[in-house]
Amino acid sequence: MQTRKVIIASVKRIYLDYAATTPLDTLAAEAMQPFYREQFANPSSVHAFGQQAENALENAREKIARLLNAQPDEVIFTSGGTESDNLAIRGAAFEARRLRGADHILISPVEHHAVSMTAEQLAAHFNFKLEFLPVDAHGRVDPAEVKKRLRPETAVVSVIMANNEIGTINPVAEIASACHENGVPFHTDAVQAGAHLRLDVGSLGIDLLSLGAHKFYGPKGVGVLYVRRGTPLLPVQTGGGQERGFRAGTSNIPYIVGMAAAFEVAQQGHPEHRERIAPLRDHLIHEVLENIPDSQLTGHLSERLPNHASFAFRGVDGNNLLMMLDVSGFACSSGSACKTGNPEPSEVLTALGLDHSWALGSLRVTLGRQTTEAEVADFLDALPELVETARQYA
Ligand SMILES: *Cc1c(COP(=O)(O)O)cnc(C)c1O
C-alpha cells in the first residue's frame, strides 16, 4: 500500500523550492524578446540604434528606481545577487579604508555565502577585521547589538533582510539608523525579499541593497545593487565606465528589461500574492508540526517571508530526506546548498544554537505563484512517512 502511494505520487512532479529560483514571469519574457534580435545594439554606441538600446536601459532603471523609491542614478545593474553582494561589501570596505582608514567589517552569522565568503576573504587576505553579530534563536539581529559593536573604524555593516534558509526577516530599518548615527554605511542582501516585501529604500534608510532577478520571477544572471547617493564605493569591475563607472561591461539589455518587468509585477502584485500564499504556508507549518513527532520550525514564526517554511527533524539526515522526497516527486531543499558526502549542519542552523541531532535534519519548503492547495495537500500526505523512513536510516 505504502509503496503504491509513492509510485502514484512520482507520476507528477511538484516544485516547492521557490527560494532557490522561480520561473520567468510571462510579461517579463515577452518584454525581453525584441532586445535579442531587433533592438540588439550596444547602448554605449552613439548612433540611433545605440540610443534605442540606451532608452530601454534607462527606462528599466527608472522603473526599478521608482519601485525602490530611489533615484535612477542610484540603481546599478549587475550579473545577479552574488555580484551585487560582492560589489557592496568589497567596494564599501576598500573605499572606507582608502578614505578613513577603516578596517572593521560587521556582519551577521546568517548571511548568504555571497556576503560571508566575501567578508571572509577580505579578512583572510586583505587585513580587514571581521566581526560577527549575535542572533537570537530565530536568526534575528538585535539593532542594540549592532549599536554596541559599531566603532569609528567600522567600514561597512551587512545584515540580510530576509534569510534564504530560515525565512526570518530582520529589523533592517532600525539597524540602518544605528549605522547612520555612527556614519557607517549599511548593506542589506534583499535577494529573497524582492518577491515578497516592499523595498522602500527611502523609509528603510538603507545605503546598499542587493537584488537578484531570478528570485522574483525574472531572468537568471542579472541583478541590482542600489547605492545611495554619496555612499563611498570602489568599483570592483573596471573597464568601459558603464553604470557610472561602478560596474563596467556592456549592459545585458534583454535581461535588464526582463528584470524590470518582473520586479514591477512582483512589487505591485505582491499583496494579493501574500494574501493567498501566507495562509497556505501557515497551514503547511501547522500540519507538519502537528503530524510529525520531533519536529520544529526553524526561523521566526511571524517575522518571516510569506512563502517560506523551514523545519528541523530530530535524528534525520536532511540529504536522505531530500532524496526520498525527490523520488516521490517533491522538489524541496535543505538549506542554502546541498553538501553531500560530509554532513555538516549549515552555518545558519548552527548560529541558531541547534545541536547536531536537530541541525542535520533540516528541510526548506518554499511556495510560489504556481503552488496550489492540492500540491500542498499531496506534500502533507507524503511527508510524515518519509520522515519516519529517513529516521530509520539515519
Ligand atoms: C540567491 C541568493 C543570492 C545569490 O543571488 P544570485 O542572483 O543567484 O547570484 C544571494 N543572497 C541571497 C539571500 C539569495 O537567496
pLDDT of residue 336: 47
pLDDT of residue 102: 98
Look at residues 197, 216, 174, 199 and name the one whose alpha carbon lies nearest to residue 305: 197
Ligand 1 surroundings by CB, under 6 angstroms: 80-82, 85, 112, 114, 160, 164, 189, 191-192, 212, 214-215, 223
| Residue 381 CA to ligand 1 centre (angstroms) | 31
Q: Whose CA is nearest to atom 3 of ligand 1?
A: 81
pLDDT tens for each residue of 24-38? 999 999 999 999 999
| Residue 213 CA to ligand 1 centre (angstroms) | 9
pLDDT of residue 4: 54
Atom index in ligand 1 nearest the CA of residue 220 equals 7
Provide the grid cell at 103.
578596517
pLDDT tens for each residue of 84-107? 999 999 999 999 999 999 999 999
| Residue 114 CA to ligand 1 centre (angstroms) | 7
- 93: alpha, beta or left? (left if phi > 0; alpha if psi -120 to 50): alpha
Q: Which residues contact 17 (CB under 8 A, 6 or more apart)?
A: 331, 332, 333, 364, 366
Atom index in ligand 1 nearest the CA of residue 82 equals 9
> How far apart are the C-alpha atoms of 103 and 317, rounded to whole Å?
40
Q: Whose CA is nearest to atom 8 of ligand 1?
A: 81
Q: Hunting for cell 527611502 — which residue is that? A: 202
> How far apart are the C-alpha atoms of 231 and 288, rounded to whole Å?
45
Atom index in ligand 1 nearest the CA of residue 214 equals 7
Note the Cα 156 to chain centre separation in Å: 19
pLDDT tens for each residue of 282-336? 999 999 999 999 999 999 999 999 999 999 999 999 999 999 999 999 999 986 4
Determine which one of 183, 338, 339, 388 is catalytic. Answer: 338
pLDDT of residue 338: 47
**Residue 340: is its pLDDT beyond 50?**
yes
Active site annotation includes 338: yes
If one residue of 21, 24, 87, 112 were mutated to test the ligand 1 pocket, choosing by the most ligand atoms within 8 A of its CB, it would be: 112
Over residues 335-348, the mean pLDDT reads 67
- Would you say 163 and 352 are in contact if contact means Cβ atoms under 8 Å apart? no
Atom index in ligand 1 nearest the CA of residue 114 equals 10
pLDDT of residue 1: 45
Q: Hunting for cell 578613513 — which residue is that? A: 100
CB atoms within 10 A of CB 98: 11
| Higher per-residue confidence, 275 vs 325 | 325
Q: How many residues does the chain have?
A: 394
pLDDT band of residue 270 (cuts 50, 70, 90) is low
Note the Cα 252 to chain centre separation in Å: 21
| Residue 350 CA to ligand 1 centre (angstroms) | 20
pLDDT tens for each residue of 54-80? 999 999 999 999 999 999 999 999 999
If one residue of 158, 160, 192, 222 were mutated to test the ligand 1 pocket, choosing by the most ligand atoms within 8 A of its CB, it would be: 192
CB atoms within 10 A of CB 100: 13
pLDDT band of residue 269 (cuts 50, 70, 90) is confident
**Residue 11: is its pLDDT beyond 80?**
no
Q: Hunting for cell 519574457 — which residue is that? A: 29
| Higher per-residue confidence, 274 vs 272 | 274
| Residue 212 CA to ligand 1 centre (angstroms) | 6
pLDDT averaged over every residue in the chain: 94
CB atoms within 10 A of CB 363: 26
**Residue 139: is its pLDDT beyond 60?**
yes
* Percent of the chain whose pLDDT exceeds 90: 90
Range with lowest mean pLDDT among 11-20, 77-86, 155-164, 201-210: 11-20
pLDDT tens for each residue of 353-363? 999 899 999 99
Provide the grid cell at 391.
529516521
- Would you say 217 and 19 are in contact if contact means Cβ atoms under 8 Å apart? no
Over residues 123-148, the mean pLDDT reads 98
pLDDT of residue 3: 55
pLDDT band of residue 274 (cuts 50, 70, 90) is confident
SS3 of the chain: CHHHHHHHHHHCCEECECCCCCCCCHHHHHHHCHHHHCCCCCCCCCCHHHHHHHHHHHHHHHHHHHHHCCCHHHEEEECCHHHHHHHHHHHHHHHHHHHHCCCEEEECCCCCHHHHHHHHHHHHHCCCEEEECCCCCCCCCCHHHHHHHCCCCEEEEECCCECCCCCEECCHHHHHHHHHHCCCCEEEECCCHHHCCCCCHHHHCCCEEEEEHHHHCCCCCCEEEEECCCCCCCCCECCCCCHHHCECCCCCHHHHHHHHHHHHHHHHHHHHHHHHHHHHHHHHHHHHHHHCCCEEECCCCCCECCCEEEEEECCCCHHHHHHHHHHCCEECECCCCCCCCCCCCCHHHHHCCCCHHHHCCEEEEECCCCCCHHHHHHHHHHHHHHHHHHHHHC
> How far apart are the C-alpha atoms of 49 and 41, rounded to whole Å?
6
Q: Whose CA is nearest to atom 14 of ligand 1?
A: 191
